[in-house]
A and B are shown apart, each in its own frame.
Chain A
Amino acid sequence: MAWVMRNRVTVGLLAVVVVAAYVFYWAANDIAPSMYVSAWGYAIPLVLAALVGVIGERSGVVNIGIEGQMLIAAFAGFFTAAATGSILVGVLVGVGSGLVAGAFLAWTTVRWRMDQIIAGVVLNIVATGITSFYYTPGKILPGVIPNLDIPVLQDIPLVGEVFFSGRSWIATVAILAAIGIHLLLFHTRWGLRTRAVGEYPSAADTAGINVERLRLVNVTIAGSLAGLAGVYLSMDASSSFERGMTAGRGFLALAIMIMGAWRPLRAFAMALFFGFVNAVASQLQQSGLGVDGEPSGFLEWLLAAVTSPQILATLPYVAVLVVLGLAAGRVRAPGAVGQPYVKGDQ
């Protein structure tokens, strides 16, 4: 009960959102279910990618290369599966390549103290280059990633429909990862040490914690989640690889991480919010709002411009800007983010 009182704003907001979601679900049951399903579909890779950012920055390493990590994994997973004829091998190679990309970032920034932004940009450029150069059209996947329906839970109205049925197991992993990383971060030894290393590394060092090793391990392991996000894009959501298919999701994930105040569960909620804004945008595009025929007069022209599909497609990004603006000054980044730790240099 004390916990509820301390977090009454969060809890209250959550209650309002849940009630609103159910009201909309019952009231507009022609479009609402499909919108929710599409929202979650859009949010899955964002959740995974945002968690990569959370783990990295909580340890004090900015990961601007999530985009590149996802792209490499999407590429490696898809083409390995196509070449070997095994979905499982494809997924494993995809996740593994995310891990390798994470290790690259970890070693360059933590061990060799390269500028973290530059290392991330390098990763993104290399990823775009390699995946574009070796891209071959016409490959197809040997199958699909199997669905995972959770018994009992899938029968809950709305929630069961969206989260616990009709989705591959990657979606379930995303949910479990968000909950799991929250528990790890705030209730275990690893979490306490990780937060200390990201906030005030010299304090951790003088308490006998190996700052460099913890950062190396965290950034590397987090890479596997970016790998899974990439695999989801090319092997689950679309069954094909295209050049630059991550389309800025890695950066959107960073924005979600910030709006989620570097907390896994809030980042999860934020990812859902963007998924929903995206679903609203595509719903509006399909419903053909706007003006029939040639616009006449300024107001009609303005309306036509605002409701054009191209402008509507920017809605999620406009929402990012608005929420980031609201979040500015209210959330605080880990203290040592972006700074390489040099022993004895306090």
Chain B
Amino acid sequence: MSDPTTTGTPEAEGTPTPAGHVDTSPDHLERVATTDAARELPPERSGFGEGVVGEVLLDIQGLSKSFGSVHANRDITLTVRRGEIVALLGENGAGKSTLVNQIFGLIAPDAGTVSVKGDATPIKDPKDAIGRGIGMVHQHFQLVPVMTVAENLMLGHETTRAGVVLDLEGARRMVRDLAERHGLRVDPDAEVDDLPVGTQQRVEILKALSRRVDLLILDEPTAVLTPQETDELLGVMRELAASGTSIVFITHKLREVLAVADRVYVLRQGAVVGEVATGDTDATGLATMMVGREVVLSIDKEPATPGETVLSIRDLRVEDDRELTAVDGFSLEVRAGEIVGVAGVEGNGQRELVEALAGMRKVVSGQMTLGDLDLTRADPHRTHHAGVGHIPENREKHGLVSAYSIADNLVLNEFDQPPYARSGVRQFAAVRENAQRLREEFDIRSSGVMQTAGSLSGGNKQKVVVAREMSFEPRLLMAAQPTRGVDVGSIEFIHRRIVQARDQGAAVLLVSAELDEILSLSDRIAVVHGGKVVAEMAAADADRTEIGRLMAGDH
């Protein structure tokens, strides 16, 4: 590895010398620091032994980018100091991803400069960005699914033996070293495809770290994670920051921002509308900045007036895709005019339960009835016509046809019924008229109803699904993770509509991994663990820690 004559000397063993490219002199700091706060910080050495905590690592001035007539970013100015966690907060379509893609060299800005460690030469491409110490964990993981963890980590900076043969053993060692140093356990020989999402993300972070990053960009890192995985990730972020890595992360979850970030930039319609230290703000303040108006985070709702039982599930048993029992003796009743929230750690049979109720999954045993109708063996078509509205967990896959227009998506389960079809001929005027009405009513932001559903932002896609499933006034509304990956403004809207459906007499079954959502919306809460209800309580009596304990299987 190193020169044999120097091995054994204490210097070569103990202290790694700084990589050299970072100038830590006060003069340099004076030149690169753009904010007074940065200049005032004492030049402590950071954990990596290179650079200075508080040194300005990333300095963005007047950045603008347009796509056609859309201003994705306008005149953005932003700085990130070493060891700092900065959150970029904004609704879907506020320009957060465009901004970070410019930092990582995936998109070239129209105007403005991005300087990294005082170097303002434009970032040409990801390779250039990586070379300058920027790492990025993309929202859609950039891992080759059929390759192993080690292969993915070495991709792009492979080491070879004898100049040609891939050094896989070296890559495995690198994975193990990195994993150990950062406490991110992962098997170097596991195929990425076989790993759970949370572990894949760990691999992504390790991949970025394997390039010696100074600045780590995380694009909506928690969108796909369970609450446990999220907490784990937030812990990892804190540790990385403590060891001198700066982190920029995109999110629209206020709780995470307040939990880990030092500072927040709030973006709206492509521009920075606010910059604030997390210590100086709270959830309401951030939400108001994001949306540009006061946002009601807690839902004002009248007390429920439950009527007769609409949905009754008795001793239901359902298997998952691997043919293992996922729903194991589940019983629950939902009455008209009440919202029943199903709380539980993801993977405790909620998905299979909803799919069985929607007629998408075979029931092994047990019974479910809607009023007098037995829906145990019904298919989705019958379930729908029996009066069940279903907001599916996976809206891209089960909620929408991306290539179809908004108008067609809004009649996806009624397209062959009058007035949308007569004698087997589709009535486009009626379809369009319906779409225009729902677009207005549900505030679906699009250029028109003939735009494809796939081109909408996450929140607006969800509004299309919600609009369709509510428009036929279902007797039972099932909402599975109705606000996942949806911006704050849309969350508020969707929540209000769900309560409204209840007030109009629908029975609502709400399944969510967000405990806050369950607590604020439900009239009654059922906690599931291991595929069955372990506790039922009125929402008024619910206690957060108690539910958490029950969710964890302690009952």
Interface residues of A, Cβ cutoff 8 Å to B = 187-189, 191-193, 195-196, 199-200, 202-209, 332, 335, 343-344, 346
Contact = CB atoms under 8 A, between A and B. Distances in A.
A207 B155 contact: yes
14 contacts: A193-B156, A193-B158, A196-B147, A199-B144, A199-B147, A204-B144, A206-B136, A207-B126, A208-B125, A208-B126, A208-B131, A344-B101, A344-B106, A346-B140
B147 A195 contact: yes
B126 A206 contact: yes
B138 interface: yes
A189 B147 contact: no
B165 interface: yes
B127 interface: yes
Contacts of B155: 192-193, 196, 203-204, 207, 209
B160 A346 contact: no
A15 B244 CA distance: 57
Given A202-B142, A209-B127, 12 more contacts: A187-B166, A188-B160, A196-B155, A200-B145, A202-B140, A203-B143, A204-B156, A207-B126, A207-B157, A207-B207, A208-B130, A209-B156
B140 A189 contact: no
A192 B158 contact: yes
B142 A203 contact: yes
Nearest to A209: B156
B144 A203 contact: yes
A97 to B, nearest CB: 30
B152 interface: yes
B125 A335 contact: no
B151 interface: yes
Which A-B residue pairs are the 5 nearest by beta carbons? A207-B156, A208-B127, A203-B142, A206-B142, A200-B144
B164 interface: yes
A15 to B, nearest CB: 27
A188 B101 contact: no
B123 to A, nearest CB: 12
B364 interface: no
Contacts, number: 79
Nearest to A332: B146
Interface string B138-180: 1011111111000110111110100011100000000000000
Secondary structure at the A interface, as helix, strand, loop or mixed, is: helix
Interface in B115-133: 125-127, 130-131
B106 A199 contact: no
Nearest to B167: A189
A192 to B, nearest CB: 6
A203 B142 CA distance: 4
A196 B157 CA distance: 13
Nearest to A190: B164
Contacts of B146: 195, 199, 332, 335
B107 interface: yes
A332 B127 CA distance: 30
Contact of A346 (B131, B138, B164): B138
Interface string B327-354: 0000000000000000000000000000
Given A200-B144, A206-B142, A189 B152 contact: no
Contact of A200 (B107, B136, B143): B143
B160 A189 contact: yes
A203 B158 CA distance: 15
A192 B154 contact: yes
Contact of A206 (B138, B151, B165, B166): B138
Interface string B19-45: 000000000000000000000000000
A199 B145 contact: yes
A344 to B, nearest CB: 5
A206 B143 CA distance: 10
Contacts of A193: 155-156, 158
Contacts of B130: 207-208
Nearest to A191: B166
Contacts of B138: 206, 346
A189 B166 CA distance: 6
Nearest to B171: A192
A193 B166 CA distance: 11
Contact of A205 (B126, B151, B154): B126
Nearest to B156: A207
A101 to B, nearest CB: 29
Contacts of B106: 206, 343-344
B326 to A, nearest CB: 25
Nearest to A193: B155
Nearest to A203: B142
Contacts of B151: 192
Contacts of A344: 101, 106-107
Contacts of B136: 206
A204 B155 CA distance: 7
Nearest to A336: B144
B441 to A, nearest CB: 33
A286 to B, nearest CB: 46
A192 B145 contact: no
A189 B164 CA distance: 7
A207 B166 contact: no
Contacts of A192: 147, 151, 154-155, 158, 166
Interface in B421-463: none
Nearest to B135: A206
A209 B127 CA distance: 7
A124 to B, nearest CB: 30
Contact of B165 (A187, A200, A208): A187
A96 B146 CA distance: 35
A24 to B, nearest CB: 38
B206 to A, nearest CB: 13
A346 B207 CA distance: 18
Contacts of A188: 160, 164-166
Interface in B59-104: 101, 104
Contacts of A195: 144, 146-147
The listed residue with most B CB atoms (<10 A of its CB), out of A207, A208, A209, is A207
A24 B453 CA distance: 63
A335 B192 CA distance: 14
Contacts of B160: 188-189
Contacts of A343: 106
Given A188-B164, A344-B107, A346-B138, A208 B145 contact: no
Contacts of B156: 193, 204, 207-209
